[in-house]
């Protein structure tokens, strides 16, 4: 499963397995439907960052909704375009060499 994650900076990816939803409602829905947390996820960071590199997560439910459903800045769109290539590479490693290899290579 590939999904957006406000707890990661825009453009970063993390591969995980057998984790909780961490409050992500869509992911919780999947976990509830499958009745297990035992599946692979590719988390894609969507939170903006400050000039110093710190997360600048949107505040409140309205702020989160606006950010997730809004239009990204041109610079963020460029970052997300590049990260889509990394995701494709990560999926290839996952399929060919397994989750441990993919996590080691892409969770930096």
Range of the domain at 65: 2-106
* Stated pTM of the model: 0.85
- The answer to whether the beta carbons of residues 94 and 100 sit under 8 Å apart is no
Total domains, the chain: 1
pLDDT in tens, 27-58: 999 999 999 999 999 999 999 888 888 999 98
Three-point CA angle 66, 91, 86, nearest 5°: 60
Q: What is the CATH number of the domain that holds 78?
A: 3.40.50.1470
**Sorting pLDDT into bands at 50, 70 and 90, what band is 106?**
very high
How far, in Å, CA of 15 to CA of 102, rounded? 7
pLDDT in tens, 55-66: 999 898 899 889
């Amino acid at each position: 499963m590939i999904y957006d994650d406000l707890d990661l900076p825009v453009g970063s990816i993390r591969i995980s397995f057998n984790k909780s939803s961490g409050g992500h409602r869509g992911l919780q829905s999947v976990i509830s439907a499958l009745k297990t947390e035992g599946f692979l996820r590719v988390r894609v960071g969507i939170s903006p960052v400050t000039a110093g590199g710190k997360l600048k997560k949107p505040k409140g439910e309205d702020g989160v909704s606006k950010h997730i459903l809004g239009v990204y800045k041109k610079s963020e769109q460029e970052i997300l375009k590049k990260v889509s290539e990394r995701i494709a590479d990560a999926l290839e490693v996952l399929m060919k060499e397994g989750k441990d290899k993919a996590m080691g290579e892409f969770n930096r």
